[in-house]
Amino acid sequence: MMPASGFGGAGGANLALKRSSAGPPKKLVIKPFKEKPKLPADFEERTWAKLKEAVTAVHAKQPVACSLEELYRAVEDLCVHKLGSSLYARLQQVCDVHIAARLRSLQGRAADPVIFLSLMDAIWQDHCSQMLTIRSIFLYLDRTYVIQTSGVRSLWDLGLQLFRTHLESGSEISRKVVAGLLSLLEKERQGEAVDRILMKNLLRMFTSLQMYTDYFEKPFLERTTSFYATEGVRYMQQTDVPEYLLHCDTRFQEESERCAHYLDPATRKALISVVERELLERHTQAILEKGFAALMAAHRLPDLKRMHTLFARVGRLDLMKAALSDYIKKTGKDLIMDEEKDADMVNLLLESKLKLDTILVESFSRNETFGNAIKDSFEHFINLRANRPAELIAKFIDAKLRTGNKGTSEEELEMTLDRVLTLFRYIQGKDVFEAFYKKDLAKRLLLGKSASIDAERSMITKLKTECGSQFTNKLEGMFKDIDLSKDFMSSFRTSSTARTELPTGIEMNIHVLTQGYWPTYAPVEVNLPHEINKYQDIFREFYLSKHSGRRLNWQNSLAHCVLKTHFDKGVKELSVSLFQTIVLMLFNTSDRLSFQHIHEATGIEDKELRRTLQSLACGKVRVLTKEPKGREVADTDEFIFHSQLNEKLYRIKVNSIQLKETIEENAATTEKVFQDRQYQIDAAVVRVMKTRKTLSHTLLISELFKQLQFPIRPADLKKRIESLIDREYLERDKANPKVYNYLA
């Protein structure tokens, strides 16, 4: 009303004055129409014609005549006037016709799959973009009529539905599309490069049309199955196992990638399981049979690891575990049973165990069941050969603990002993080991051959942890005896008796052994030199004065001496056994002696004497010479003191025989173990029967198996039971001969 000018107050006022003279504000009245305005009769037709023209243009990829806004308005108009449903129907019809025509155009076209697919793709892309445009035009319809009316699809969905209907009905087309896709897939699997984008588009098309699962996925999986089925068989024949496994890995990766790039993610699971089944699961047994042993033997860690991972995928680790067990049992058995390898057996076993442990960690990811399989298999084969492995392990440890073991650091030794102990754990007849270990330990202690007392004690501790204190009781007793003897000897030497009565010119160190702890030694009677006798008697008196009620037996076979010997070239100290000493001391009185004379004078048993003489006269260091020459000692031989002996060292060792183990010793030890076992069986039977009073045969046998720590056969048990029946410890029940009664 009033111009808001800024001219000067006067000017504004003038204008204002002018206007205000117009009078009171005019009232503007808007009257409704007298008649409701009617749509023109052909409104719908004309509007539709406009729209139809537009749609057709879109379909024909021609520019649209009217502006999009005008078209939009036209739709809005129709909808507002409740002409939405007929509009929808007309639109549907136009689209229907168009889509049908387009798809039909594909029929009989292009034999080449790629071209065909490209055409299909083009049609689809067109459809999508065209529907989008149409939808924008008809947006109002979509937002109002469609939403308000139930059962009516949105325009986009309508388009999809029409497309699908026509695609399905022209079954040849959809089949051709699928076939084309599958053939491209196969090409890609064979290694050719294909148009992934094309494939992706078409597959997305199928997904949008909800035809993916039925039309594509099913034949896809079938084709994949047969592809990999044949490939699996072919590759198994042509390649070796590591290559095959690598190929499997590659394929898995490829197919995963394929899913990521163009296949529908939903297919992934089914696809992978098909590949797993065809390439792997079918061939697991064959793979194991063909190549597992070779991989193990060649220590192929990465290949084994791959195998483990792949087999885990198809859940067939149980087969692999079985193959592992068989492999270990077989190779182990060969190792154990090969008698010629005895000398090396422990080393080979340690090596083999180490290799397996490495494989377990590196390739099998410390899988617990596999670890157990290794353990069980080891236990199985190591016990196939009774006694010998136990003996060899004891000998191995002996060699490690003896002096002369240069070059092994303390840690290395500890580690080796630990590993040997693991082997020991698997052995069932541990009493055999104990017997040999004890024997060797005794020798080491008495002859001063232990490399390190710490190492010895550490070994005992390990055994104690392993088998309990009962096992190591006696062994510890042996150590105690040595220590006690040392203390006793020092008190003996400082005692007045020693200082006054002992013969001069001789020094002795005496170990007092408690009989129960040490291996049993058969006492050997010999004629000892006078000085030694005297010394022994004085010692005995002294000892018995301190410990009354005990009995001392001299073990001559275990003693060793250092003899100061005068040769032409000078004085030497000879480190010799007692027997050797006795023989040599005879030569104090005469330079030349016959075998018979020596035999009589020393009182040494025949076989032992021959051995002793051999060691003095026929070995590396010849303190005596034998006439006639030769290795064997005959009754008529004569021995001469070899005064011209020429050796560089001051102290010479001629005492190798005591340390070496004779075959008889060996057999004796084993025999003793068996005897001991018999006593143990007898004791166990009596013990069980005493508690139970009456027991059936089968129950008795099972009870004995539980109690006895070493491997036994039922036949052996039977024999002991019969012996006990004979000795009237038990009887058979009069009513039922299968039952035994305890006889008090």
Partner 1 sequence: TRAEFPAGLETLGLDSVDKLKEQLPQMRRSLQTDEGVFSEVYRYAFGFATEKGQKSLALDTAFAMWRLLFDDGKWPLLDHWCDFLTEHHNKAISRDTWNQLLEFSKSIKPDLCNYDAEGAWPYLIDEFVEYVQTKNSEIST
Q: Which residue ranges make up the site for partner 1 (CB under 8 A)?
A: 696-698, 701, 714-715, 718-719, 722, 725-726, 732, 737-740
Q: Which uninterrupted H or E stretch holds 663?
A: helix 663-692
Instruction: Between 229 and 725, name the residue whose CB sits nearer to partner 1.
Output: 725
Q: Which is nearer to partner 1, 547 or 693 (CB)?
A: 693
Q: How far is the CB of 734 from partner 1 (least distance, A)?
A: 10
Q: Which is nearer to partner 1, 256 or 696 (CB)?
A: 696
Closest distance to partner 1 from the beta carbon of 736 (Å): 9
Question: For 670, what's the count of Cα atoms within 13 Å in the CB-facing half-sphere?
Answer: 12
Spatial separation of the C-alpha atoms in residues 311 and 322, rounded to whole Å: 13
Q: What angle do CA 417, 423, 681 make, to 5 degrees?
A: 115
φ, ψ of residue 564 to 5 degrees: the values are: -80, 120
Cross-strand bridge partners of residue 694: 741
**Rg, the chain, Cα only:** 52
Smaller CB separation from partner 1, 422 or 696: 696
CA distance 121 to 74: 33
Pick between residue 10 and residue 715 the one whose CB is nearest to partner 1.
715
Task: Give 35 or 726: the residue with its C-beta nearer to partner 1.
Answer: 726
Q: How far is the CB of 721 from partner 1 (least distance, A)?
A: 8
Shorter beta-carbon distance to partner 1: residue 92 or 696: 696
Residue 722 Cβ vs partner 1, minimum distance, rounded to whole Å: 5
602 touches 617 (CB < 8 A): no
Report the C-alpha gap between 692 and 681 in whole angstroms: 16
Is-contact 94 160, C-beta < 8 A?
A: no
Q: Write phi, then psi, for 308 (nearest 5 degrees).
A: -60, -45
Closest distance of CB 694 from partner 1, Å = 13
Could you give phi then psi for residue 552, rounded to 5 degrees? -110, 130
| Least distance from partner 1 to the Cβ atom of residue 686, Å | 17
* DSSP codes of every residue in 153-218: --HHHHHHHHHHHHHHHSHHHHHHHHHHHHHHHHHHHHT----HHHHHHHHHHHHHTT-IIIIIIH
Q: Give me the least distance between CB of 699 and partner 1, in Å please.
A: 11
Rounded to the nearest whole angstrom, what is the least distance from the CB of residue 698 to partner 1 in the complex?
A: 7
Residue 154 contacts residue 160 (beta carbons within 8 Å): no
Shortest Å, Cβ 743 to partner 1: 13
User: Of 28 and 735, which CB lies nearer to partner 1 in the complex structure?
Assistant: 735
Please report how close the Cβ of residue 715 comes to partner 1 at its closest, in angstroms.
Answer: 6
C-alpha 544/C-alpha 488 separation (Å) is 12
What pairs with residue 576 in β-bridges?
561
Query: Quick check: helix, strand or coil at residue 732?
Result: strand
- Our CB check for partner 1 shows the closer of 516 and 737 to be 737
Q: Which is nearer to partner 1, 152 or 721 (CB)?
A: 721
Residue 283 or residue 677: which is nearer to partner 1 going by CB?
A: 677
CB of 437 to partner 1, least distance (A): 33
Q: How far is the CB of 680 from partner 1 (least distance, A)?
A: 19
Residue 685 CB, shortest distance to partner 1, in Å, is 13
* Residue with Cβ nearer partner 1 (185 or 685): 685
> Is the sign of the CA dihedral 495, 499, 501, 507 positive or negative?
positive
Q: Which amino acid is present at 173?
A: I
Task: Please give the span between the terminal C-alpha atoms of the chain, in angstroms, as a whole number.
Answer: 140
- Answer left, alpha or beta for residue 271, where phi above 0 means left and psi between -120 and 50 means alpha: alpha
Q: Are 700 and 708 in contact (CB under 8 A)?
A: no
**Residues contacting 370, CB < 8 A, separation 6+:** 317, 320, 321, 324, 360, 364
Q: Where are the beta strands (DSSP E) in 340-471?
A: none
Q: Considering the complex, state which of residue 175 and residue 719 has its C-beta at the smaller distance from partner 1.
A: 719
Beta carbon nearer to partner 1, 462 or 732 = 732
Structure tokens given for 540: 């005995």
Rounded to a whole number of angstroms, the minimum distance from the CB of residue 742 to partner 1 is 15
| Contacting residues for 374 by C-beta, under 8 A, at least 6 apart | 324, 328, 356, 357, 360
DSSP 639: E
* Nearer residue to partner 1 within complex by CB, 355 or 727: 727
3-state secondary structure of 681: helix
Least CB distance to partner 1 at residue 245 (A): 48
Q: In angstroms, give the least distance from the CB of 428 to partner 1.
A: 21
Max Cα–Cα distance, the chain, nearest Å: 176
Helical spans, DSSP H, in 512-624? 530-546, 578-586, 595-602, 606-617
Are 613 and 620 a contacting pair, CB within 8 Å?
A: no
Phi, psi of 502 (to 5 degrees): -70, 145
Which helix or strand (DSSP H or E) is residue 560 part of?
strand 560-567
Q: Enumerate residues 6+ apart whose C-beta is below 8 A from 422.
A: 353
Rounded least distance, CB 700 to partner 1, Å: 9
From the CB of residue 529, how many other CB atoms can be counted at a distance below 10 Å?
Answer: 18
In eight-state DSSP terms, residue 447 is T
Six-digit token string for 160: 């999809």
Amino acid, single-letter form, for residue 436: F
Are 99 and 163 spatial neighbours (Cβ–Cβ below 8 Å)? yes
Least gap, CB of 684 to partner 1 (angstroms): 17
